[in-house]
């Protein structure tokens, strides 16, 4: 088959889990190129991410497919062994690993185990991103990048345990203790919580870039940051793929096994650090950041926790 059209979910993290299997799958089926079509409106950043790989490209979205197959996709979401369908709705294949991962399946051993998993497929980085990277390093110096969404399950499973006020207090403590600038990022859907954080801040420490970056700028920000602090989402999962120091705050919406299976295995406790909202400890996160900073600069004369 010279070219295959594949139906996929729209999220950046959703697509990453597919990309790590896709090249080997294509080789097993003798497919030269894949066009990936989302079943709902796909964010521009997901399209940009897909188009960075030589073996695939982003196609048109097909939002009506989701509407017409709502029952099927609900079933897929909660069925741990349905993640791949051939000849579906006019597409050569349907891929959706979310449900299996959500059910605790391991991407390497239990989701298409016959297909090799390459956690680090080769991705092109445009010159524009490198220019933004240099700009951000010069402009901001050492900084923590963060976002905290409050829609959907973040509202129901994160916010009751880790309020925006508590999250702001954490960011301020990080700034005051480590002299790190704090930059807020995110999509348009993250603007409302960012505005609340800015209200708490009163113009003191926060730099707000929420809704103001495309994927290239976001990727450059992640690369330029000292650490990326947030919740499980496409941007934090992407951060572990590019081997950036990442602290991800999970909640019991997901199994612990999901927190271990969602990112490259060798990233765990190296540049990917998971903590849980149910056992939120500001001291724990502060210690993680201190360890990251000390690893980056062993001669650091800052003594965390000493006054």
The pLDDT mean for the chain works out to: 90
Nearest to 163 by CA among 189, 210, 191, 200: 200
- Write the pLDDT tens digit of every residue in 21-53: 999 999 999 999 999 998 776 678 999 999 999
Residue 205, CA distances (Å) to 76, 95, 147, 158, 172 in order:
44, 43, 15, 24, 7
CATH number of 131-296: 3.40.50.2000
CB 247 within 8 A of CB 273: yes
Q: How confident is the model at residue 304 (pLDDT cuts 50, 70, 90)?
A: very low
The predicted-structure confidence for 155-198, as pLDDT tens digits, reads as follows: 999 999 999 999 999 999 999 999 999 999 998 889 999 999 99
Which conformational region is residue 301 in: left (phi greater than 0), alpha (psi within -120 to 50 degrees), or beta?
A: alpha
Quote the pLDDT of residue 254.
Answer: 93
Summarised one tens digit per residue, pLDDT across range 130-148 is 999 999 999 999 999 999 9
CB 43 within 8 A of CB 187: yes
d(C-alpha 117, C-alpha 103), whole Å: 19
Q: Is the pLDDT of residue 69 over 70?
A: no
The structure's pTM equals 0.92
| Closest to 101 (Cα-Cα) out of 212, 222, 257, 242 | 257
CA distance 80 to 75: 10
| CA atoms of 287 and 307, how far apart (whole Å) | 15
Would the pLDDT of 75 be above 60?
A: no
- List of residues 6+ apart from 163 with CB closer than 8 A: none
Q: Where are the domains of the chain?
A: 3-102, 131-296
Q: Taking each helix axis from N to C terminus, what angle separates 164-178 and 191-201, rounded to the nearest 10 degrees? A: 60
């Amino acid at each position: 088959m010279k070219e295959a059209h594949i139906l996929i979910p729209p999220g950046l993290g959703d697509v990453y889990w597919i990309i790590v299997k896709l090249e080997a799958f294509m080789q097993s089926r003798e497919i030269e190129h894949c066009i990936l079509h989302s079943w709902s409106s796909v964010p521009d950043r997901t399209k940009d991410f897909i188009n960075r790989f030589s073996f695939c490209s982003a196609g048109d979205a097909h939002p009506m497919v989701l509407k017409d197959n709502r029952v099927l996709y609900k079933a897929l979401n909660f069925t741990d062994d349905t993640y791949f369908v051939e000849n579906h709705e006019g597409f050569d294949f349907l891929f959706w690993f979310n449900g299996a991962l959500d059910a605790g399946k391991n991407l390497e051993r239990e989701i298409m185990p016959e297909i090799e998993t390459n956690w680090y497929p080769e991705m092109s980085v445009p010159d524009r991103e490198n220019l933004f990277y240099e700009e951000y390093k010069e402009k901001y110096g050492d900084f923590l990048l963060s976002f905290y969404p409050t829609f959907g399950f973040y509202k129901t499973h994160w916010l009751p345990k880790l309020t925006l006020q508590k999250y702001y207090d954490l960011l301020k403590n990080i700034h005051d203790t480590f002299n790190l600038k704090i930059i807020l990022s995110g999509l348009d859907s993250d603007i409302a919580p960012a505005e609340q954080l800015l209200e708490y801040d009163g113009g003191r420490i926060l730099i707000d870039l929420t809704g103001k970056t495309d994927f290239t700028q976001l990727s450059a920000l992640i690369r330029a940051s000292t650490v990326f602090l947030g919740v499980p989402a496409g941007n934090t999962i992407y951060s572990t793929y590019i081997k950036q120091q990442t602290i991800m705050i999970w909640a019991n919406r997901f199994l612990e096994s999901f927190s271990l299976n969602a990112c490259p295995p060798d990233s765990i406790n190296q540049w990917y650090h998971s903590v849980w909202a149910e056992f939120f400890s500001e001291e724990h996160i502060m210690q993680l950041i201190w360890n990251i900073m000390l690893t980056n600069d062993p001669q650091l004369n800052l003594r965390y926790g000493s006054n």
